[in-house]
Structure 1
Amino acid sequence: MEAQALVIALVGVLGIGAQWLAWRTGWPAIVLMLAAGFLAGPVLGIFDPELTFGPMMEPMVAIGVALILFEGGLSLDFRELRHAGDGVWRLATIGVALGWLFGSLAGNYIAGLSWPVAVLFGGILIVTGPTVVIPLLRQSSIQSRPASILKWEAIVNDPTGALCAVIAYEYFRKLGEVPDATLFAVVPPLIIAAVIAGLIGYAAAVVIAWAFPRGLIPEYLKVPVLLVVVIGVFVLSNLIEHEAGLVAVTVMGVALANMNVSSLRSIHPFKQNIAVLLVSGIFILLSASLNYSDMAFFNWRFAAFLLALLFIVRPATVLISLLGSSVPWNERLLLAWIAPRGIVLVAISGLFAIRLTELGYEGGNVLIGLSFAVVVVTIVAHGFSIDLVARLLKVKGNTRPGLLIVGSTPFSIDLAEKMQALKTPVMIVDASWQRLAAARRKGLPFYHGEILNEATEHNLDLSPYHVLVAATDNEAYNALVCNEFAYEIGRDSVYQLGDAGDDENRHAIPLSIRGRALFESGFGVAEVTDLSKQGWVLRKTKLSEEFTFENALEKLPPDTHYLLLLREEGRMRFFTHAARPEPRAGDTIVSFSPPHTKTPEEKAAKRESKSGGNPQPAQ
């Protein structure tokens, strides 16, 4: 028991440690997780998951994959299909058939696998998987349409690939019993089983969507009930047919995502945390389970097969599937390259490798090592190249962190103007068309709508905006916005104008639900409004080795309050009641200060330098 507990702890440390290292370095997290598990398992021999967990290993991984697919399904909204639907439907239908065909041909003619093994493996190769695609999309900045297509394809094709493998296995098993068996004897029952599994998942989603809003489940039990229902649906559907549970949980997640169940918003942070933990843990366990005997079969034909998979099978599948579609060619080429494989491929390959060997088919035992090789090669190739390929094909989104401003006021308009001039992506959001008039006149990007409305998440792409500033004229509303978006953007990246009033009332709104207060003084809305009426404005001042922060202090008016530092790479660091960032050369300071009254000496200096050769440091 102590050994198992120690392995669980090590898996957690390695998985989350790899995720943190990926965040710090910008490297693909899945590459680091694979490396960590491989080092801990076959290389250093620190632990062997199969030896530690024994027969529990397979159901643990299976349930983990089911929860990941359900969580992925919850992120799929049908409204995304307005822009990406053409590509998604083609890849989920034509692409599946072509991918299975080309993968099988490559497996037989290039890798040298027997036809039964090649056909089964070709079906498994259809999967790309949210466990690898979504982390890649999170770390890269790809435009919304190709990102949506990749996400939908990954989640929808996971259960599809599993079903293709089941169809192939059942057909070849039937052939062993009845030599003249046909596909018609195998496929219809499996399709019926998949439909029943999908109906079970949909029925579970309907029950959840009915029970949660009516208060039949207390708030503290919603997450446990949801997790238990997902696991129950998965296990029940698998009793009907192997791997049908993946269909059921995917349908359940997609159905719930499109039933507008407001109660689910409160559990989003938790289910995202569960997904991160499961992805990390399963990747570590599977890569640590690899042993050298699995790789002993690797030869030049397998290497040629991997190259064909990267440069022939996937590109041919995507480009043929999308012929005549509305997807632009540069996006098609990106989709033709990006197809990393992950957990489901390894898990299903391991399961069917044993079954094929038991049926007496030659080559079944090589599937485990070959599937790991596919995972490693595709993750490394696509993980390290996605940014470069996206940039070359001009489908890269804006890489500079953006600023989302809630509330159209003179202060927020001034802030948006200054940040846009500094090449920071900005967006002003307000529910009042009248208040947005100033933003429209100045040509600033704006969104007319209620930021707290769930539809806003689908109508407005929030991915470019890494920082939020709530600056409406309602302090409580600002706090509500910050609290709502703290889980998505990060508690340290949501800011608001501080509470106005004396010290007794300054923290009437609990700090736990507020954003960080802007300015060291914690200016309130009323204070900023009054100062703006008195002529106070935002100024930007560029620092350099010659013009330091001390020089800026001398040039700016004495009562100046500093709002933020903009680093050269675009990162924003705000001056707040709790933090004062350290200015350095290359930074741009944005400050809030009174009208600049020139001294007689400054006026004389200006008259002497009418040529304009000495630009003012503050604007």
Structure 2
Amino acid sequence: MASLDSVSIAILLGAVLVMAGILSSLLALRFGAPLLLFFLFIGMAAGEAGPGGVHFDDVKTAYVVGSVSLALILFDGGLKTHFKAIRAVLAPSMMLATVGVLLTALITAPVAKYTLGMSWTEGLLTGAVIASTDAAAVFLLVHAQGLRLRPRVGATLEVESGTNDPFAVFLTLTLVKLLSLGEASAGTVVLEFLQESVLGTVIGMAGGLLVVTAMNRVALPQGLHAPFVCTAALVIFGFAQIIHASGFLAVYLAGMVIGNRPTRAHNSVVTFLDAATWLAQIVMFVMLGLLVSPERLVSSILPAVAVAVVLMVIARPLAVFLCLQPFRFNWREKAFVSWVGLRGAVAIFLASIPMLVGLPNAHLYFDVAFVVVIISLLFQGWTLGYAARLLHVALPRTDRGPRRVELDLPGQLEQQLVGYSVRPKSLFLKRGLIPSWSKPTLVIRDERILTPEEAAPVAAGDYLYLLAPPEKAESLDRFFVDMPPVTAPDPHLLGEFIVPGETTLGNLAEIYGITIDPAQAELTLADYFDIHLDHAPKVGAAVPIDSIDLVARSLGGGRVNVVGLRLPEDDPQPMPRLSRAQVFRVKLKRTLASLSGA
């Protein structure tokens, strides 16, 4: 009976620890502290040296839990990565994920060797353990601080942090084998790396395609799609590891394949994985906190701090600037990518591998990684938003998107039902705009279900449901969020082939002689962008109209307010310049129309 009681007590304490970690997030978000630190400190407080007094030294269990958690986190990251978004940054991201990790380890190794009294191989192992950027830490803190990064910077960080873990794991395992088994030739190491990379890629891609096929062809009971996908991800990971392929690379690529193909119950899978990965992070950090011995940390605190400082100030920036030199990144973007090289649970997880195989000084790797993670989350995590604004890589944050309800429709994969609450200042309500690829289907008003025709006109407070392709559903958000005030366009930009975004298509046709649909004559150019773009407007976005292209030159309040006119390359006829009088006339007409409507 005593053994049964001990199991019950362990379950109770584990649940209490996880619950305390979840509730601590309220304090962390309120006061701006990096959230992940709370989970570590809760684990330390519950440990043997803390008030909790729980004795936990099972490194094998911690490694298993860490492997499963990291596999789910990488799979979730791959599931949310879109091929279109990363295509332009694939080369620099892969350079950072491989060469960048190696350079970071090499630059950090001498500091570890001389401050900790290690051999060169042990110093390199220390560098490898802390060389990778933690995906969970980066994006958790980016989202928690409400940052909207420039697309290229955000995509680079996303792909790098998702793909550098497999290389860091490979480098760590190679060095552990070298220390435990003796010499290893460079050719053997290269062959092992190629084997793990190629097999991991093949297994990940093939496994992802098999999961997509199974989801779309097997009629699973409702609610089992998400558990099936999570289990399949762990099967792919475990199978890859067994045949000595990179399981972490395989599971990340499997997530990318699944996330970029139409599947049943896609939204429920994403929601389930969000909760699963959040819980995995909590369990992972709390368990790693339990493994830490504060008394042991005291003896290595100063060398560990030195390693952390060199890593953040010298090794990571130098590696980033060298890796991104062949690509068109300015120094501000490189500096921000350098500073956002956050270290998280992955570093502590990798540091548990020497402890698991019983290497000499194994606890030293763990203690150094633990100190590096705390310093990284404290200094880099707390200053993430400030660095983004200082280096001008954070775009102005518009109002947070509306709450979107997504419902899969059985029997087909091309359309889903997307629902919104209609806000009083939304683009849909004020302008009646909606993309051509979406179709209003029903309206809920005062607990009654109406057709759009019965509910016309749709009013603020109604709930509108539309049919839309799953891959475009997120683009509907901008039509149902309250419109922020539009900033006036810079008058210095109103030169050759440039017009204000409030110019109507009718005015444009009158001045420049293009052919338009008469029914769209009163649409503004800003409205035209909103209707025809599949995503929120960005500077440089272009949409065709007749024989020319409209190019977004400037944004204000999340909408296009300055538009450039791009001529066909073979058009020899120059276009007339829009004079200041014509600009004034367009604005005056628009103002009078709004006053008469009021």
Q: Same fold by TM-score, threshold 0.5 exceeded?
A: yes
> Structure 1 301/412 Cα, relative in aligned 2: closer, same or farther at 3 Å?
closer
> Structure 1 431/319 Cα, relative in aligned 2: closer, same or farther at 3 Å?
same
CA contact (8 A) 1:112 1:301 kept: no
Listed as ranges, the matches of 1:347-358 within 5 Å are: 347-355=349-357, 357=359
Shift in Å at residue 346 of structure 1?
Answer: 0.7
Shift in Å at residue 311 of structure 1?
Answer: 0.5
Amino acid at match of 2:186: L
> Structure 1 326/172 Cα, relative in aligned 2: closer, same or farther at 3 Å?
same
Shift in Å at residue 116 of structure 1?
Answer: 1.8
CA contact (8 A) 2:108 2:310 kept: no
Shift in Å at residue 106 of structure 1?
Answer: 3.0
Q: Distance in 1 between matches of 2:282 and 2:302?
A: 31
Asked if 1:132 corresponds to 2:137, the answer is yes
Residue 323 of structure 1 aligns to a residue whose secondary structure is: coil
221, 224, 239: which is aligned to 2:224? 221
CA contact (8 A) 1:73 1:251 kept: yes
Q: What corresponds to 2:52 in structure 1?
A: 46
Q: Distance in 1 between matches of 2:125 and 2:339?
A: 23
31, 41, 49: which is aligned to 1:35? 41
> Structure 1 518/258 Cα, relative in aligned 2: closer, same or farther at 3 Å?
same
Asked if 1:159 corresponds to 2:166, the answer is yes
Q: Distance in 1 between matches of 2:463 and 2:129?
A: 58
CA contact (8 A) 2:320 2:338 kept: yes
Residue 50 of structure 1 aligns to a residue whose secondary structure is: coil
Per-residue CA deviation, residues 458-503 of structure 1 (Å, 9 max, x unaligned), is xxxxxxxxxxxxxx9x461xx6xxxxxxxxxxxxxxxxxx52xxx7
Q: Distance in 2 between matches of 1:78 and 1:264?
A: 17
Asked if 1:13 corresponds to 2:19, the answer is yes
Listed as ranges, the matches of 1:453-532 within 5 Å are: 474=440, 476=442, 499=445, 506-508=447-449
- Counting matched residue pairs gives 441
430, 433, 438: which is aligned to 2:434? 430
Q: What corresponds to 1:207 in structure 2?
A: 210
Shift in Å at residue 118 of structure 1?
Answer: 1.3
Shift in Å at residue 274 of structure 1?
Answer: 0.8
Residue 508 of structure 1 aligns to a residue whose secondary structure is: strand
Residue 138 of structure 1 aligns to a residue whose secondary structure is: helix
Shift in Å at residue 416 of structure 1?
Answer: 4.7
Shift in Å at residue 124 of structure 1?
Answer: 2.3
Q: Distance in 2 between matches of 1:232 and 1:66?
A: 10
RMSD, aligned α-carbons: 3.6
Residue 217 of structure 2 aligns to a residue whose secondary structure is: coil
Shift in Å at residue 366 of structure 1?
Answer: 0.6
Per-residue CA deviation, residues 326-365 of structure 1 (Å, 9 max, x unaligned), is 12221111111111111121112112244362xxx5x433
Q: Distance in 2 between matches of 1:429 and 1:366?
A: 61
Shift in Å at residue 237 of structure 1?
Answer: 2.5
Q: What corresponds to 2:548 in structure 1?
A: none
Q: Distance in 2 between matches of 1:44 and 1:220?
A: 41
- Structure 1: 5+ residue stretches without partners: 420-426, 433-449, 452-471, 480-497, 511-516, 526-537, 541-618
Q: Distance in 2 between matches of 1:94 and 1:208?
A: 32
Q: What corresponds to 1:283 in structure 2?
A: 285
Q: What corresponds to 2:104 in structure 1?
A: 99
Q: What corresponds to 1:388 in structure 2?
A: 386
Q: Distance in 1 between matches of 2:240 and 2:403?
A: 46
Shift in Å at residue 6 of structure 1?
Answer: 1.3
- Structure 2: 5+ residue stretches without partners: 1-6, 405-417, 452-457, 466-481, 485-597
Q: What corresponds to 1:184 in structure 2?
A: 187
CA contact (8 A) 2:104 2:311 kept: no
Q: What corresponds to 1:329 in structure 2?
A: 331
Q: What corresponds to 1:371 in structure 2?
A: 369
Q: Distance in 2 between matches of 1:398 and 1:72?
A: 25
CA contact (8 A) 2:148 2:397 kept: no
> Structure 1 402/70 Cα, relative in aligned 2: closer, same or farther at 3 Å?
closer
> Structure 1 39/405 Cα, relative in aligned 2: closer, same or farther at 3 Å?
closer
> Structure 1 311/428 Cα, relative in aligned 2: closer, same or farther at 3 Å?
farther
Give aligned-pair identity as a percent. 21
261, 264, 267: which is aligned to 2:266? 264
Q: Distance in 2 between matches of 1:388 and 1:4?
A: 42
CA contact (8 A) 1:99 1:317 kept: yes
Q: Distance in 1 between matches of 2:463 and 2:63?
A: 57
Q: Distance in 2 between matches of 1:280 and 1:347?
A: 14
Q: Distance in 2 between matches of 1:523 and 1:211?
A: 34
Per-residue CA deviation, residues 52-100 of structure 1 (Å, 9 max, x unaligned), is x785343222212211111112122221124433531331243133223
198, 208, 213: which is aligned to 2:201? 198
Per-residue CA deviation, residues 362-411 of structure 1 (Å, 9 max, x unaligned), is x433111111001101111111101111111112232452466999xxx9
> Structure 1 524/238 Cα, relative in aligned 2: closer, same or farther at 3 Å?
closer
69, 72, 76: which is aligned to 2:81? 76
